[in-house]
Structure 1
Amino acid sequence: MAPTDAVEVIEVNGEPATRATLRVPALSGYGHFTAMQVRGGRVRGLELHLARLDSATRELFGAGLAGERVRELLRHALREVADASARVYVHWPEGEEDARVMVTVRPPSVKDGRPHGLMSVPFAREVPHIKHLGGFAQTYHLLRAERAGFDEALLTAPGGLVTEGAITNIAFWDGTHVVWPDAPSLLGITMALLEPRLPSVRRPVTLAGLSSYASAFITNSQGIAPVGRIDDVEFTVDAELMGTVAAAYEAVEWDVI
């Protein structure tokens, strides 16, 4: 973790976290979350974040989570902070009438724009369409990749099918289209914002077929970065492509929380 990952604020249902309210997140890995960058009290893709939280709450707990409640809790946690990295965690302890929402606030973070190296690993997330808790294996593989001199782990399903990064989505450039792997994975908010704004297609991508792509890039809540290599396959950093992707991302409006 980077030094800026220090938590500045933790609130549960709008109140400062206590030992009692932290007991559930400390002892239960059953829940979900979303992560966002806040600038001037605004967030890119806010409605997508709210829809993600509501949908996952319905699937995991059988009832929804009102977007206005989430916005109110975010505003409260961010009341003294204009720029931040914020996360919204959702648990629903047995016997409680409504979901328990925890908001954490850290200093803002931006993805390093240098070329990133990815190490492929044979692992695919369970229930990949939900941004769920309990990412032990993702962290394990990410740390292994970093110790081996890489920046990120690339998760692969049987047959070398590329799915997603440990904490990112990945896209490839075939000279005409931005190719997003057609495989079970989490639809990241940054990916969801970029896909319709770029000449995108989805199709299966395998480790064996990586050399057919000239360039690649990764995305997450911190932004976008080019891929320099995956294992021993080198990729060209296409300045024109990255400029197009960056321009598409910058064109996304910031939504008031």
Structure 2
Amino acid sequence: MTTTSAAPVMEIDGAPATAETLAPVLAGYGHFTAMQVRGGRVRGAALHAARLDAASRELFGTGMDGGRFRGLVRHALASAGRADASVRVNVFQPKEAPGAPVCALVTVGPPAAMEQGPYRLKSVSYQRPVAHLKHVGGFGQGYHVRRAAAEGCQEALLTGPDGLIAEGAVTNIGFVEGGTVVWPAAPMLRGITLQVMERELTAAGVPQTGRPVRLADVGGYDGAFVLNSRGMAVVRAIDTTAVPVDAELLTRIRALYDAAPWDAF
């Protein structure tokens, strides 16, 4: 049976999720990837598969096959009757033993898009634990996003010692310096959309570099942007520091993002 209602469809290894099969997911140890699907396609499908496999090996001592990942997402999309959707794949281990098999919870809901910018960001002194993994348990991120929203900001900017900029609570951030894109060098998650943009910028011949960026440096950049699976937005301010929004490179980055290919599952 298929449905196109707003209610999410949840499957574990291709079967409808139940209270019993969901119980291990609620234990709070695991990892996930999130994506937007349009026309049954996703940006960076191979990158999502590689993320799930690498994180599964690190956390559980066993991999997550890319073909299995793709098949489970295709099945859940068909069950939901959706070609356009928000999809989240949570990987967990029902039996807590090194190398024991892992399971995947696939959740399919209505498609979503990032709120249009320009954004104002609120910096917070917080860094995600084990930042290179997209792990579950994002209370700290959620807390800071809500606090930022209460102050009229669209995102929280996570920083470390001496104001070292790492990432947004639910985004990656990049800066523009003349004709070059600067990615912060700090403990962070290398998001799939960031990796897609790195690929597209390289193909377009746009220079990129990674280096430490601190809050005190923000005023010296020609622009900034945030991105995740839901989209891209230009940044107009970080705390009380205004950031230019009219850099030519920002327009080019937007065009490259919009033109990035969508991959079949």
Q: Secondary structure at the match of 1:109?
A: coil
Q: Give 1:176-195 correspondences, 5 Å limit.
A: 176-195=179-198
Question: Is contact 2:31-2:133 (8 Å) kept?
Answer: yes
Shift of 1:109: 1.0
Shift of 1:53: 0.2
Distance 2:259 2:153 in 1: 31
Of 208, 225, 240, the match for 1:232: 240
Q: Residue 100 of structure 1 aligns with which residue?
A: 103
Normalising by structure 1, what TM-score?
0.94
Q: Give % identity.
A: 53
Gaps of 5+ in 2: 1-5, 202-206
Q: Residue 125 of structure 1 aligns with which residue?
A: 128
Q: Give 1:95-244 correspondences, 5 Å limit.
A: 97-198=100-201, 199-238=207-246, 240-244=248-252
Q: Residue 9 of structure 2 aligns with which residue?
A: 9
Q: Residue 83 of structure 2 aligns with which residue?
A: 82
Shift of 1:57: 0.1
Q: Residue 3 of structure 2 aligns with which residue?
A: none
Q: Secondary structure at the match of 1:236?
A: coil
- Seen in structure 2, the aligned counterparts of structure 1 residues 95 and 197 have a Cα distance that, compared at 3 Å, is closer
Indicate the larger mover: 153-162 or 111-120: 111-120
Distance 2:19 2:72 in 1: 20
Q: Secondary structure at the match of 2:21?
A: coil
Question: Is contact 2:56-2:63 (8 Å) kept?
Answer: yes
Shift of 1:95: 5.6
Question: Is contact 1:129-1:185 (8 Å) kept?
Answer: yes
Question: Is contact 1:7-1:104 (8 Å) kept?
Answer: no
- Seen in structure 2, the aligned counterparts of structure 1 residues 163 and 95 have a Cα distance that, compared at 3 Å, is closer
Question: Is contact 1:179-1:202 (8 Å) kept?
Answer: yes
Distance 1:127 1:95 in 2: 20
Question: Is contact 2:223-2:247 (8 Å) kept?
Answer: no
Q: Letter of the 1:39 partner, please give it.
A: R
> Per-residue displacement from partner, 1:175-230 (whole Å, max 9, x unpaired)?
12111101110000111011233221111000111111121000100011000110
Shift of 1:237: 1.1
Question: Is contact 2:132-2:188 (8 Å) kept?
Answer: yes
Distance 2:8 2:199 in 1: 35
Question: Is contact 2:222-2:247 (8 Å) kept?
Answer: no
Normalising by structure 2, what TM-score?
0.91
Distance 2:224 2:234 in 1: 6
Indicate the larger mover: 235-244 or 219-228: 235-244
Q: Give 1:13-28 correspondences, 5 Å limit.
A: 13-26=13-26, 28=27
Distance 1:193 1:114 in 2: 20
Runs of 4+ displaced beyond 6 Å: none
Shift of 1:112: 2.2
Distance 1:114 1:254 in 2: 23
Shift of 1:243: 2.3
Shift of 1:7: 4.5
Distance 2:95 2:213 in 1: 41
Distance 1:132 1:7 in 2: 24
> Per-residue displacement from partner, 1:149-191 (whole Å, max 9, x unpaired)?
1110000011110000000000111112111101110000111
Indicate the larger mover: 45-54 or 206-215: 206-215
> Per-residue displacement from partner, 1:50-73 (whole Å, max 9, x unpaired)?
000000000000010111111111
Question: Is contact 2:114-2:230 (8 Å) kept?
Answer: yes
Question: Is contact 2:121-2:235 (8 Å) kept?
Answer: yes
Distance 1:53 1:118 in 2: 29
Q: Secondary structure at the match of 1:21?
A: helix
Question: Is contact 1:37-1:85 (8 Å) kept?
Answer: yes
Q: Letter of the 2:199 partner, please give it.
A: P
